[in-house]
Amino acid sequence: MPNKKPVYKRILLKLSGEALQGKQGHGIDADVCAGFAAQIKEVHTLGVQVALVVGAGNIFRGQFESKRFGLDRSVADYMGMLATVLNGLALQNALEQLGLACRVMTAIEMHAVAEPYIVRRAVRHLEKGRIVIFVAGTGNPFFTTDTAAALRASEIKAEVIMKATKVDGIYSADPMKDPAAKKYDRLKFMDVLKQNLKVMDSTAISMCMDNELPIHVFNLMHEGNIKKAVLGENIGTLVG
């Protein structure tokens, strides 16, 4: 019988930028953004403290674009960090339209747009029932938003990172290319590293392992999956 109460008190939800583009292939789909906000409200209503880290793949991917345009990697990464701010503001607007208190906190200071990231302030926002969106990655080039998610989750003492993706868990190979790919229900951190499974980058996985921070990977596109994960239902893949 499914749990009626959340199994986590504080979570960090990692959203990819690509998820926000919907079917249009780029930019931000307002309907998709509103749908995600509604799912987050469901979880927040259960009394769960929710923080988010959002990527920028729908606008600008630093590592990819640096090779494509011949940009210096540092410059490209900073451009990607700024793109996450756009996504964060869009999510904030969608959440506020549902009546939720929300704060965007950035690793690169821009006072007219968002609050500077200070861990004690972030925790206080969460304790007051506000949703917190972390943007601009770690504030440093050469680090992915996966690593930013692992870092922020560790700093705010989240109980789990929920990585919402377009697939229903972690597979032994790309299920879109290999129909024989095996889905895992549970994995250990070392298994992910040894098998080079593309869950998060190795820096993020190592940080989660060092801090005993589990990662729950599931399909965001199935409505209600965030709530199911928070209630401890057996969906996706749990790494820990």
Banded pLDDT at 1 (limits 50, 70, 90): very low
- Secondary structure letter of residue 181 according to DSSP: P
Q: Is the pLDDT confidence value at 129 over 90? A: yes
Q: Is the pLDDT confidence value at 52 over 90? A: yes
In-domain check, residue 226: yes
Tokens 């190979």 -> residue: 173
Span 200-214, pLDDT tens digits? 999 999 999 999 999
Query: What percentage of residues in the chain have a pLDDT greater than 90?
Result: 76
Q: What predicted TM-score, i.e. pTM, was given to this entire model?
A: 0.93
In-domain check, residue 109: yes
Read off the amino acid at residue 220. Answer: L
Our count of domains for the chain comes to: 1
Q: Is the pLDDT confidence value at 3 over 80? A: no
Pairwise CA distance, residues 145 & 14, whole Å: 8
Span 137-188, pLDDT tens digits? 999 999 999 999 999 999 999 999 999 888 889 998 887 788 888 999 999 9
Task: Calculate the CA 146 to chain-centre distance.
Answer: 7
Banded pLDDT at 26 (limits 50, 70, 90): confident
Nearest to 199 by CA among 132, 138, 147, 133: 147
In-domain check, residue 3: no
In-domain check, residue 25: yes
In-domain check, residue 76: yes
- For residue 21, is it left (φ>0), alpha (ψ between -120 and 50) or beta? alpha
Give the range of the structural domain holding residue 171, as residue numbers without chain letter.
Answer: 10-239
Phi and psi angles of residue 86, each rounded to the nearest 5 degrees, phi first = -60, -45
Pairwise CA distance, residues 71 & 62, whole Å: 9
Q: First CA to last CA across the chain, in angstroms?
A: 23
In-domain check, residue 229: yes
In-domain check, residue 1: no
Beta bridge partners of 187: 239
pLDDT at 130: 98
